A and B are shown apart, each in its own frame.
Chain A
């Protein structure tokens, strides 16, 4: 549809520019240097979301179906899925506050659901954080 660069290529061009041109130029300005590193990281988060977003959306939908025990049909397009997911999560939050998940089997299922959901968020936001924790757990269990 569009001409190249693709969206990934556009983002990676911007990252390259920041890393090779801007960073060396702002090295001596502590604040600007730090903020530029943050900006680069933000772009990398966006790159990962582009790669993983769709599969995460489906996983989120399926996990919610499993948690609620009432499978709902997937809406037809990504925007409709996002809207429907937001609604379902809002309802879930209300049920948690009402105490529907206070008892162990429900509580455990909810725990596993949010653990999966937060892990997916981190696969986009900071995969290195997940990796570091995994290594730490491994070295702890081998002690």
Chain B
């Protein structure tokens, strides 16, 4: 936060007074751990003596991702989801004017629970929640995939799989990377990409780590900035990726459960028949894409734009995704 705290508090108060026409007092603002790509704050305030706990999500100049939605778009997507009954924090106020807090931001209700992936898969207090999650995740995904996509959402120009492959090639070309493992995987992906008859609204980053979990299970689906129109099956393979199992590798669904009951629950809730081979493929392609993005993240450091040991280290973590993509290729019968 580049603005001094007192100024931040005053400006936010001023914004909320204009929005609500009521007396607003900010009591505290604490940065939220996690959420590497966005600036997040837990804000406690009173609006005419009613105490409220909110989360502020703000753009920072260095965290732009070319495929991500703007704050205004993300806010609109969350409104659509909230109105249709998806478990999502209620979006409250949007400020698209960067001069107020140095970047566009919005406020949403604070949802109690744990989001940090490692804790979700390991905390003994969440054991019962982990039993409920596969069914709840499937049910929420079925609902999300039935949402009417707003006009501004990116739509596939080829099939969704072909788009993802094309994106990976573009990133590799831009970086000037010659990596035979990715080349083999992308070539193979191109020849085995599943068709997609009916693209739907997809969340785009639906996995453990982006789900707020409490003892009753799934409390809220967070991080909507990668929402787009895509293949609903990509969103069944994605939460199975090894990196989102947070160390509990043998449980394919996000380190919490076997995959099959989750897929069956999704079929029941969505009325869609799920092609298991296509889900395998999307898990594989998810690893390719994340492995390629790791190289791009390292480049943010290497280019000197954003010196960060954390970004730098992702360059060498890419090999984990590369090995996993090769293992999945072999399972699929290369």
Contacts and interface: CB of A to CB of B under 8 A. Distances in A.
A139 B250 contact: yes
A114 to B, nearest CB: 4
Contacts of B180: 89, 92-93, 96, 110, 113-114, 117
B100 interface: no
Contact of B183 (A93, A118, A126): A93
Interface stretch (A8-16, A70-78, A129-137): A129-137
B320 A129 contact: yes
Given A42-B312, A90-B178, A114 B326 contact: yes
A122 B334 CA distance: 22
A93 B185 CA distance: 11
B165 to A, nearest CB: 12
Interface string B27-51: 0000001000000000000000000
Interface stretch (A20-28, A30-38, A50-58): A30-38
B317 A125 contact: yes
A140 interface: yes
Given A86-B178, A125-B319, A101 B309 contact: no
Given A42-B313, A111-B326, A136-B249, A102 B184 contact: no
A45 interface: yes
Contact of A111 (B249, B317, B319, B334): B334
Nearest to B183: A96
A136 B323 CA distance: 14
Contacts of A92: 178, 180, 183
A19 interface: no
B136 interface: no
B309 A122 contact: no
A121 interface: yes
Contact of A101 (B178, B184, B249): B184
B310 A35 contact: yes
B65 interface: no
B22 interface: no
Nearest to A140: B250
Range class of the B interface residue count: 20 to 34
A101 to B, nearest CB: 7
Interface in B232-258: 249-250
A121 B318 CA distance: 10
A86 B66 CA distance: 29
Nearest to B315: A125
Nearest to A96: B183
Contact of B309 (A42, A97, A102, A115): A42
B179 interface: yes
B181 interface: yes
At the interface, is chain B mostly helix, strand, loop or mixed? helix
A41 interface: yes
A93 B178 contact: yes
A129 B245 CA distance: 13
B291 to A, nearest CB: 10
A41 B326 contact: no
Contacts of B319: 118, 121-122, 125-126
Given A89-B180, A122-B320, A133 B310 contact: no
B181 A114 contact: yes
A97 B187 contact: yes
Contacts of B327: 133
Contacts of A121: 316, 319, 322
B99 interface: no
Contact of B184 (A96, A126, A136): A96
Given A35-B309, A126-B317, A119 B323 contact: yes
A93 B326 contact: no
B329 interface: yes
A122 B323 contact: yes
Across the A-B interface, the 7 shortest Cβ-Cβ residue pairs: A121-B319, A125-B316, A114-B181, A96-B183, A90-B178, A93-B178, A118-B322
25 contacts: A30-B33, A35-B308, A41-B313, A42-B312, A42-B313, A45-B313, A45-B316, A89-B179, A90-B178, A93-B180, A93-B183, A96-B184, A101-B184, A107-B188, A110-B180, A111-B184, A113-B180, A115-B326, A117-B181, A118-B326, A125-B320, A130-B323, A133-B249, A133-B327, A136-B249
